[in-house]
Structure 1
Amino acid sequence: MTSHSPNEDVPAAVVKAADILAEAARTRVACPPVRSILDATDTGTGVESAYAVQRLNVERGRAAGRRVIGRKIGLTSPVVQRQLGVTRPDFGALFADMEVARGDEVPHGALLQPRVEAEVALVLARDLPHADSTAVDVLRAVDFALPALEIVDSRIAGWDISLVDTVADNASSGLYVLGGGPVPLAGLDLREVRMSMTRDGEVVSEGTGAACLGSPLNATVWLARTLAGLGDPLRAGDVVLTGALGPMVPASPGDTFEAEVSGLGTVQAGFAAAPSTGDAK
């Protein structure tokens, strides 16, 4: 799939915002918010244009050889929704090169301003093509669940984001780590799972499945319906990061995070230490 250019029915504001975010990702230099560029392109919100920015940069990624392997859901916490003045979650694309293998460290400087949150990841065995998908449809489609750490990031300087900024910035995606072993959903109530996350052994985030839009299952139903309605449904094999179970926590070089999700097991992520002055050349 090739990327659009400004004269291929993509508004100039969308291209401009996409270019700014892509350059920030390429150079690892954070950029100003893009909401002022996009707010004037929609009636009052800019959200539709923000999704157009996201689609454009995803298409550019595909054209460069990156592979989309699923989706992430954001803004599932009522507290965060109130902070941003929204009443629904958002979503972004997961690329294969965003996965950090278990045991590997996140390289120093790979992200601009990382934060970590613990989630339930679902892996699908069936497509979810219907815009009226039900909870039963999703349960039948899920192959297994895993504990996950999403390492969110923002290309926007200082995390100065609105809903428009985070949607345009691929829902503030960064990297992710999957842990544990595959667990079937039979007998597992995702609403009741409990999560505790530590940073260097100290508990820094706790929560339950109920904190994720009432249940990670609810979040996945919302995503399935939304994507099917857009003509780009969830497919067999997709990974779905269903949303945070507790507060996200800033990460610094040298940090080690571990989360335990009841019924699913544990997942870890380490961040490489900053090189010493003597190592810098």
Structure 2
Amino acid sequence: MTDTNTWSAARVAERLLQAEDSATALTSIRAEWDGLDLATAYAAQDLALNVRVARGEKVTGVKLGVTSKAKQRQVGVDSPSTAWLTDRMILPIGEAVPRASLIHARAEPEIAFVMGRRLQGPGVSAASALAAVDHVVGAIEIIDSRFSGYKFSMMDAVADNNSSGRYATGPISRRPEDLDLALEGCLLEVDGEVVDSATGAAVHGHPAEALAFAANTLAARGHAIEAGWVVLTGGMTDAVPVKPGARIAVHFTNLGTVTVAGGH
């Protein structure tokens, strides 16, 4: 057991950034330090963001994790979590997933909001959250936990920026009022074979509910969701491994198709 006196939010942030930069997996921090509670994990997440910005990254949005009831039961929580997106995480259309820079990349389909105006809690409802959205796009998030075998506690995951890796957004956008987001479906395809499917209802009951949750949760930490930011509302299905050369496509009902390829 590690000496608990040597731990702090700053040390957690430093250790996880080092693991990310070197693509080296760690074991659970929570297992070593029982002082890693959610408040400390979020503090570590914010400290890591400060480091990212200081080295030249630009904040591009927010991502939600554990938005489905099944995943919440799996990790023993009853609400989602939030994390940060930066421009370093953007995967341009046509570029392969940089597997060599990641530890164990996995892909999951998401409904993404692009904000038209600033959204700040508390007291944000799903309706008021949706009113702040400019348009909706389909997305694939490439998650990449810094923990070996994707084995971690909720506190580990939050400190690790909700397993952030890369994200790709699709070329087709729709106004939110033109969609029934709870019924917006997706098919997850790997190398031409459909392996999973879901609808937007899998995301905290409705993607707008996830957006409202993010705004209200961030407000408690002194943050808001800014105009122009992307909000990834959470995985609609289980994530699938990104294998060398694999082609992963997500076909949405109204948001078109988003495709990524696994690099070698």
Residue in 2 that maps onto 1:24: 19
Residue in 2 that maps onto 1:33: 28
Q: After the TM superposition, which parts of structure 1 deviate over 2 Å for at least 4 consecutive aligned residues?
A: 36-41
Q: Pairwise mapping of residues 1-281 of structure 1 onto structure 2 (< 5 A)? A: 12-40=7-35, 46-273=37-264
Given that 2:99 and 2:105 are in contact with CA atoms closer than 8 Å, whether structure 1 keeps it comes out as: no
Distance 1:18 1:133 in 2: 29
- What amino acid maps onto 1:35 in structure 2? R
Could you list the per-position Cα deviations for residues 151-206 of structure 1 after superposition, in whole angstroms to 9, with x for gaps in the alignment?
Answer: 00111111111101100100111100001322111221110111101011011221
Give 1:36 shift. 3.1
Give the SS at the match of 2:8.
helix
Give 1:12 shift. 4.2
Could you list the per-position Cα deviations for residues 203-230 of structure 1 after superposition, in whole angstroms to 9, with x for gaps in the alignment?
Answer: 1221111111101111111111111232
Distance 1:35 1:229 in 2: 23
- What amino acid maps onto 2:188 in structure 1? M
Give 1:118 shift. 0.2
Give 1:15 shift. 2.2
Given that 1:17 and 1:38 are in contact with CA atoms closer than 8 Å, whether structure 2 keeps it comes out as: no
Give the SS at the match of 1:51.
helix
Give the SS at the match of 2:257.
strand
Given that 1:124 and 1:239 are in contact with CA atoms closer than 8 Å, whether structure 2 keeps it comes out as: yes
Identical pairs, percent: 37
Distance 2:33 2:49 in 1: 18
Give 1:80 shift. 0.9
TM-score by structure 1 length?
0.89
Q: Which runs of 5+ in 1 are unaligned?
A: 1-10, 274-281
Given that 1:38 and 1:49 are in contact with CA atoms closer than 8 Å, whether structure 2 keeps it comes out as: no
Give the SS at the match of 1:195.
strand
Distance 1:88 1:58 in 2: 22
Given that 1:206 and 1:247 are in contact with CA atoms closer than 8 Å, whether structure 2 keeps it comes out as: no
Give the SS at the match of 1:180.
strand
Give the SS at the match of 1:182.
strand
- What amino acid maps onto 2:47 in structure 1? L
Could you list the per-position Cα deviations for residues 98-122 of structure 1 after superposition, in whole angstroms to 9, with x for gaps in the alignment?
Answer: 1111111112312101111001010
Q: Which runs of 5+ in 2 are unaligned?
A: 1-5
The structure showing larger relative contact order (alpha-carbon pairs under 8 Å, at least 6 residues apart) is: 2
Given that 2:190 and 2:246 are in contact with CA atoms closer than 8 Å, whether structure 1 keeps it comes out as: yes
Give the SS at the match of 2:128.
helix
Distance 1:187 1:40 in 2: 46
Residue in 1 that maps onto 2:3: none
Matched residue count: 259
RMSD: 1.3
Give the SS at the match of 2:189.
strand
Residue in 2 that maps onto 1:8: none
Distance 2:33 2:219 in 1: 25
Distance 1:90 1:101 in 2: 26
Distance 1:38 1:243 in 2: 28
Distance 1:268 1:175 in 2: 13
- What amino acid maps onto 1:234 in structure 2? I
